[in-house]
Chains A and B, each alone.
Chain A
Amino acid sequence: MLVLATSAGVVRPLVRASVLLSLPITISVVLVSVFTRAGTTVLFTIGPFDATLEGVEFAAQTLVRLFAISASIGLFVLTTDPRALVLDLERRGVSPRFAFVAAATIEAVPTLVERAATISESQRARGLDTEGGVVARLRGLLPIVGPVVITSLTDVEERSLALESRAFSRPGARHLLWAMPDTGWERILRWLLAAVLLALIVARIVGVPLPVID
């Protein structure tokens, strides 16, 4: 994964994104595993809780797995243009409606962020306190979330009307204007990865011993 991230030039954003993605679960895993896992080697004690070496080992093992999952997702997101992905899915037979929903979901994120920022600024201009302590921030959240949700719903209705007027609901295939470049090497690599995955699943089912990260 590191090789792929380096060749794509996304090592730093990948590490940052992976850490951020796994951080909430990391905190709970560390707390729960280190202090509640039964073990013979007690490292230190806080109140009624013993931090055990076995707990630390289990937490480390879980975190490595978590980081691997979040890094895989992060690498995919950082190196794949969502529009290109959706377009290619449609070219491979996925329904245009599904492709639209997938693309709209991905593209909605920056739009929502922009809208929330605009609403936050306009609410601040009218005296809403959105800075300061946690309580003030929480209190300031509701007048922002409400308008964001309501305007988003209104927009969805208008957008669906506009799309209908552009024959969105017409059944049948579309002739796409673009095709993603797909070299022979990329095809071979894809089949190879699929074969390795299949082999790993079969090995697991039939009980062939595999190297395990401990």
Chain B
Amino acid sequence: MLRLTDVGYRYAGYARQVLHDIDLTLADGEIVGLVGANEAGKSTLCLVASGLAPGSIGGALSGRLEIDGEDMAGKPLHEFATRVGIAFQNPATQLSGITGSVFEEVALGPMNLGLPARETVDRVKAALAALGIESLAEREPRRLSGGQGQLVVIASLLAMRPRHLVLDEPTAQLDPEGTRLVGEALRQLAKAGTAMLLVEHKTDLLDALTSRVAVVADGTLVADGPSPDILEDPRLDAWGVEPPSRIRLGRAIAAAGMDPARVPA
């Protein structure tokens, strides 16, 4: 379980607080969607939840971050690595840039953990298989498409076997098939007990995948509840979030004077 209690955050060198009084809990096996307009504070919240803020980038954190009941204040960054994995939206900057093959790239994290070579190999194979990208193993990471690169990034995280994943728009560069693959992999991980915070503008994906959705606006958590309730909330547009297509379609049908329930699927 990952829990943020009364969390506030200010970037180093800035006077303005970008997160205020955030209370958010990710239970084991739960996928929580996080939505909000651009600049609302979603990515900052991801950095805080993964320990990178302030651990790597500095800044001032108030409140408390607990992982599996342990207060993470003052813990070295490498201790976060096996507990929380984080993926950003641009695969090009997440790949190490020093490996000659996808296999080596995915192996980098487990090697950093000092695992025996046999276990590293097993983890890499399992991570590639989980995303169905075994065929990319020998490819040069720099030559991958955006979608393939993102799948490799996620595989690299899976190989670390963290209990929690923070994913900041992981499907932003994926085609529908890539998005489906990632969605399926995340679902399997959740079944195995991994807790996930999934930042997405694709609310259709959140509609299909998440049990809970939280909304951030101006650095504050303005809503947090079961996905169907939040994604149907009429305030969603005002928060800068586009509702899922089924909701928009239903509203369009209703606006046309028809009963959505009576429209054939």
Contact = CB atoms under 8 A, between A and B. Distances in A.
Contact of B114 (A107, A161, A175): A175
A126 interface: no
A163 interface: yes
Interface stretch (A47-55, A132-140, A165-173): A165-173
A24 B52 CA distance: 46
A144 to B, nearest CB: 19
A174 B112 contact: yes
Interface string B38-70: 000000000100101001110000000000000
Given A86-B98, A162-B88, A170-B78, A177 B111 contact: yes
A36 interface: no
Interface residues of B, number: 44
B113 A170 contact: yes
B107 A177 contact: yes
Contacts, number: 106
B86 to A, nearest CB: 5
A111 B142 contact: yes
A201 to B, nearest CB: 35
Contact of A166 (B76, B81, B116): B81
Interface in A169-201: 169-177
If over half of B's interface residues share one DSSP class (helix, strand or loop), that class is named, otherwise mixed; here it is helix
Interface stretch (A38-46, A61-69, A152-160): A152-160
A166 B77 contact: no
Main secondary structure of the interface of A (DSSP, over half): helix
Given A171-B78, A175-B111, 6 more contacts: A158-B93, A164-B78, A165-B84, A166-B160, A170-B112, A174-B111
Interface of B: 47, 50, 52, 55-57, 76-78, 80-82, 84-86, 88, 90, 92-100, 104, 107-109, 111-117, 120-121, 142, 153, 156-157, 160
The 8 A-B pairs at the shortest CB distance, nearest first, are namely A170-B78, A166-B109, A167-B81, A158-B93, A103-B98, A162-B94, A167-B112, A174-B111
